[in-house]
Amino acid sequence: MSPMSVVTLARSEPRSGQITVIQPRRLPRVLGALATYVGMTLLAVMFLVPLLFEFIGSIKPNDRVLSEGNSWRAFIPTAITFVNYGDALARADLAHLFINSMIITSSIVVAGIVVNSLFGYALARMTFRGRGLLIGVVIALIIIPFQAIAVPLFFMMAKIEVLDTYQVQIVPFIASPFFTYLFYTFFLSIPKELEEAARVDGAGPLTIFWRVVVPLARPVYATVAILSFLFAWGELLWPVLVTRGPEVRPLPLGIAVFQTLPPVQWGDIMAFATVMTLPLLVVFLAFQDAFVRSVARTGIKG
Partner 1 sequence: MISSPTKNLKTRVGQDSLVPWLFSLPAILMLLAFLVAPFVLAIVFSFTNLRLLSPIPLRFVGLQNYVRVFQDPIFYRALGNNLLFVVIVVPVQTALALALAVLVNQKLRGVRVFRTIYFAPVVTVMAVAATVWRLLYDPDAGFINGLLGAVSGGAVHPNWLRSTSTAFLAIIIMSIWQGVGFQMVILLAGLQDIPHDHYEAAIVDGASGWQQFRFVTIPQLRNQLLFVVTITTILAFRLFDQVYVMTSGGPLDSTQTLMLMLVDVGFGRQRIAQGSAIAVIFFLIVLSISVAQRRLIREETT
Site for partner 1 in 160-219 (CB under 8 A): 171-175, 177, 180, 192-193, 195-196, 199, 205, 209
Q: Report the residue from 104, 109, 251, 271 that binds partner 1 according to the rule CB under 8 A.
A: 251
- The minimum distance between CB 82 and partner 1, in angstroms, equals 19
Q: Residues binding partner 1: what is the number (CB under 8 A)?
A: 110
Alpha-carbon gap, residue 267 to 63, rounded angstroms:
8
Q: Per CB under 8 A, does 34 bind partner 1?
A: no
Specify the residue, 8 or 82, whose C-beta has the smaller distance to partner 1: 8
- Cα gap 49→232, rounded to integer Å: 26
Q: What residues have CB less than 8 Å from 54, skipping those under 6 apart? A: 270, 273, 274, 277
Distance CA 298, CA 302 (A): 9
Please report the DSSP string for 191-209 in residue order.
-SHHHHHHHHTT--HHHHI
Task: Tell me the closest approach of the beta carbon of residue 83 to partner 1, in angstroms.
Answer: 18
Among 74, 108, 213, 224, binds partner 1 (CB under 8 A): 74
Residue 247 C-beta: closest distance to partner 1, Å: 19
Site for partner 1 in 231-250 (CB under 8 A): 233-234, 236-237, 240-241
Considering the rule CB under 8 A, would residue 23 count as an interface residue with partner 1? no
At residue 48, φ and ψ (nearest 5 deg) are -85, -25
Environment class of residue 168 by beta-carbon count within 10 Å: exposed (0-12), middle (13-18) or buried (19+)? buried
Cβ atoms within 10 A of the Cβ of 266, count? 19
Span 90-109, contacts to partner 1 by CB under 8 A: none
Under the criterion CB under 8 A, does residue 79 sit at the interface with partner 1? no
Element (H, E) at 184: helix 177-189
20 binds partner 1 (CB under 8 A): yes
Chain centre to alpha carbon of residue 6: 35
Torsion angles phi and psi, residue 174, rounded to 5: -75, -60
Contact range with partner 1 by CB under 8 A, out of 60-68, 81-89, 90-98, 212-220: 60-68
Q: Among 31, 95, 261, 296, which residue sits at the site for partner 1 (rule: CB under 8 A)?
A: 296
Binding mask 252-291 for partner 1 (x = CB under 8 A): xx-xx--x------x--xx--x--xx--xx--xx--x--x
One residue of 103, 135, 153, 290 binding partner 1 per CB under 8 A: 153
CB of 175 to partner 1, least distance (A): 4
State in angstroms the smallest separation of the CB of 50 from partner 1: 5
Taking residue 95's Cβ as centre, other Cβ atoms within 10 Å add up to: 12
Dihedrals φ, ψ of 183, to 5°?
Answer: -65, -45
- Give the DSSP H or E segment for 236: none
Nearest of 231, 261, 232, 234 to residue 246 by alpha carbon: 261
CB of 54 to partner 1, least distance (A): 5
For residue 40, the minimal CB distance to partner 1 (Å) is 5
9 binds partner 1 (CB under 8 A): yes
